[in-house]
Structure 1
């Protein structure tokens, strides 16, 4: 990765009221882009701006303030269908509320299954049922443990005028990649731990294998 990226530009801004399964609702400005490095249809959701009603191009924080940003990788099973095998859906819901309160941006990145794709992710689930953890399953399929690249995310942030941010994540790789791409990560804030009997082994693997800031004590 380079510390510089080819520029992208804002394509469309549109207001979308968001409502989650537990009834929480917020107003977002959805932003699409032209010129993203991977050619995918990633979307930014600007949250927390009272001026969103008129699609104001300003960001939801005062000049000089630091926005709260989450890079959320798409998870069809968790985000849409509420799968308890991961913590993606609860993290998305948590991020929407925290970013609305703080002012910032949720980047929804089309990187299903740590970017191995939906079918491969489900193949990996089948191997996990036989005893492998999430990383071992990917390796057994001849796939990377984590194939995600955040160049497009850095482009999206630059197109929105964001050069410094607070990052909402448990994954140290996200901050490291953004920093290498020229984005200043002022602070890293962990999400809550959304543990269930079905995802405990998955969360433990992330904490032990890739250093995610997840405490499973108790």
Structure 2
């Protein structure tokens, strides 16, 4: 769906310059970054691991993964987000692949086999999130894991988000996805999984009232 992809990319490109101003996006606050470092360490396999960061945005989580000794690969649909990610990793002294592409169907140039796949707040932007989950699991090595940081945002009802992008009306998880619904989608595809609430204000730089969580699923 090229029209939808172009519209989504344009939406996020327009936010690229200011994206890192959000505490949980830029991880500029040492306290916020430290909490994300701890969570990522608990979710990821032992380093060094090959980790695909889907919808990587400006690369803040990829940078943390690199600092922890992993080999991250970032994919994002928005070219200006990827520019920021490349700059961020390079300035920190890391050589990591950060590539423009459809995170729901990662390009072969990103790689085809990973120890872990990470995505944060991505599934709500996809026209077919359940098919994306199947594709992602197919990229995992035996024993690999899928780490999904997701939520259901009370203020993001579908009828309020039609300005998001062309085709947003066909995005079934617009506004986020409840943990129970995501678990139901994943159970037939994975060996085991766990759900971890993410309500600590330190993760977001502010208190949150909506549903936020991580699912860690193993194949």
Taking structure 2 as the reference length, the TM-score comes to: 0.32
Bigger radius of gyration among the two: 1
Taking structure 1 as the reference length, the TM-score comes to: 0.32
If each structure's helix is expressed as a fraction of its own residues, which one has the higher value? 2
